[in-house]
Amino acid sequence: MPLLARIAPTRARVALAAIGIWLVATAGLAVASVRVYPPLPAERDNTERPVQDLRQGYVSSITCRGCHPQQYATWHASYHRTMTQVATPETVAGDFDDVDLTFHGLRYHLEKRGDELWVGMDDPAWSGPPELVPWIERKVVLSTGSHHDQDYWYATPGPGRELRLLPLNFRVQEKKWVPFSAAFLLPPHAEFDYSPSKWTQTCIKCHSTYGEQIVDELSEQVDARVAEFGIACEACHGPAGEHVAANRDPRHRYPLHLGDGDDATITNPAKLEAARASEVCGQCHGQWSEREAGTDLVDSPERYRPGDVLEKQRIYQQFAAADPSRAQLDPQKHELMQYLLENEQDYLLRSFWSDGQVRISGREYTGMIESPCYRGGEFTCLSCHSLHPAENDPRPLKEWANDQLAPRMDGNQACVQCHESFAGAAALTAHTHHAPDSPGSSCYNCHMPWTVYGIMKAHRSHQIDSPTVAATVATGRPNACNTCHLDKTLAWTADHLASDFGVARPELGADESDVAASVLWTLRGDAGQRILAAAYMGWEPAIAASRSDWMIPYLSQLLSDPYDAVRFVAGRSLRLHPGYRDVAYDYVGDDAQIEAAQADVARRWTAAERRPHGAAVLQRADGGLDAERYSHLLSQRDQRRVQLDE
């Protein structure tokens, strides 16, 4: 611990005055400890990919490490750091050891050539006769992601630094290569986006620190550069050049260490007012459109920096902004949302439920700003999340990095820090009508349910609200009660919400009154509902609350769903149930393999001892399936093409 950090606050200024002469004398030593690292010549000379190039006051995270080693270490352990990396044998999760793959009739060969990674493949952009598809070889130069899966970008021939996305995705937990189309909720046979400008136009904005695309107007050649790959220190704190320069002087630095004022040369999100603090996260974790005035990708005063007002540069999509009463608050935002709602419903439904709630991951800020907690004026992303765990935080860094939650924010403490009246067990039980230590008394489960989809799993909504059956009927979005009580009908939920909380009971049809909501989502629902239902059937609290044996025929049916991602989630959930953990199933396998897996599941289920679970889950009195009603509901399936733009 530094000498001055151990001095009691009441003695701090006396100590500072006593050694002031020593501080001035050693100023030169302080300069040496705050070293700025310029880009290496080899990096500047790289012509195959975007390069790291320090400019506009950016100095890189390695410069921050000299004075902030603990913060650097925690950031280095985060998945923010590895959001984009230069592809090397050390950074890639995928297997490049002479691997041969075939998907959708296209062949791939992955290999290492020294420290380089290469792919040979049937040209995925080929549009001519299939029998004439050329074989091409490309160097893999960048990766995106590292937590759940990883995507890869390869260099394109010719001038410029444009990249193409390799049509393969590596699933990290399963250690498995799959076609890119199978890693996202995309319609069957959806066209793949081979645009060489995708990374430099789109991904660069949030998957790097201070990225920009530069297009030569004469040659149309594209260049791309970043201050740093991944989400680095300066993505949240802003460019640190001025900060580094000022703190070379110990007369500036040590008073700050002693708590005497704030450092105006750098942005600390924790010290910003509530709205500005959340906007630091919102610059990436939101659903937005470019504002007509200014641009987000050039060096200009209009470009967002942490601490700025975010919506001066962007328009964050909120359905409420289309209301005529909001027209004077932000005319450009009002006009945009009015246009989108009237003309671009298909586009909006790729990111939102029909009432404006976010339905895809990575847009947590957009959900949060619609919440009453946020509108109260004090709630921020940092109310629950910690971008750097404290030195005395007992959790392993890997555990913290999973969601970057602050200590104890994985439970009800996150909510009762403001809603203190529910802190006691008796008050909590009176409010939730569940045992205090049960999943039904989790604030998160009721007010932030699993209604968002992304990266092959269900996520919690960050629009904090209360469950209603009316919203489920109107939008198709599952409600919190039925995501846990999978064996119950919407009518059951409506009755309990009415009696326990005074929520108005909507009119319901025969199926909504007689058939479990999860069964309706599985059989009648669209792909977005089906994938969430499959995820709920693998969620431990739901399995405990609803028993599990009746779920097996529904998960088995989803094993042959037309959507690759639905098949994956169904297979993963199925293997969480006793008796089915060793089922041989490959969600990107051929029809024969999938049919064999379904036949195996059917044999096991038929042979197992089962207790009848009731007509709501379409079980007969003898425990068998009501095949007639099952088939009738399946025939009503919503076949709308669903694409979620996570």
pLDDT of 22 reads 39
Mean per-residue pLDDT, 93-97: 97
Does 27 have pLDDT greater than 70?
no
Higher pLDDT, 510 or 41: 510
Mean per-residue pLDDT, 254-269: 84
Give the Å distances, CA to CA, from 482 to 111, 146, 277, 287, 331.
47, 32, 34, 27, 39
pLDDT of 100 reads 98
Higher pLDDT, 86 or 14: 86
Q: pLDDT digits over 175-194, tens only?
A: 999 998 899 999 998 877 77
Tell me the percentage of the chain whose pLDDT exceeds 90.
77
pLDDT of 28 reads 44
pLDDT of 625 reads 93
Does 102 have pLDDT greater than 90?
yes
What is the rounded distance in angstroms from the CA atom of residue 397 to the CA atom of residue 77? 7
Contact 546, 577 (CB under 8 A): no
pLDDT of 293 reads 60
User: Domain-by-domain residue ranges, the chain?
Assistant: 4-77+224-266, 86-196, 279-383, 466-635
Q: pLDDT band for position 46 (50/70/90)?
A: confident
What is the rounded distance in angstroms from the CA atom of residue 386 to the CA atom of residue 406? 5
Q: pLDDT band for position 218 (50/70/90)?
A: confident
Does 291 have pLDDT greater than 90?
no
DSSP string, 579-597: T-TT----TTS-HHHHHHH
Contacts of residue 240, defined as CB under 8 A and 6 or more positions apart, other chains included, come to 57, 58, 59, 63, 64, 233, 234, 266
pLDDT of 221 reads 78
Distance of CA 263 to the CA centre of its chain: 32
Contacts of residue 213, defined as CB under 8 A and 6 or more positions apart, other chains included, come to 197, 200, 201, 204, 222, 223, 224, 297
Higher pLDDT, 611 or 533: 533
Round the average pLDDT of the chain to a whole number and report it: 90
Mean per-residue pLDDT, 417-427: 95
Q: pLDDT band for position 127 (50/70/90)?
A: confident
Tell me the percentage of the chain whose pLDDT exceeds 70.
92
Mean per-residue pLDDT, 549-564: 97
3-class SS at 385? strand
pLDDT of 302 reads 63
Does 415 have pLDDT greater than 60?
yes
Q: pLDDT band for position 220 (50/70/90)?
A: confident
Higher pLDDT, 305 or 29: 305
Does 38 have pLDDT greater than 60?
no
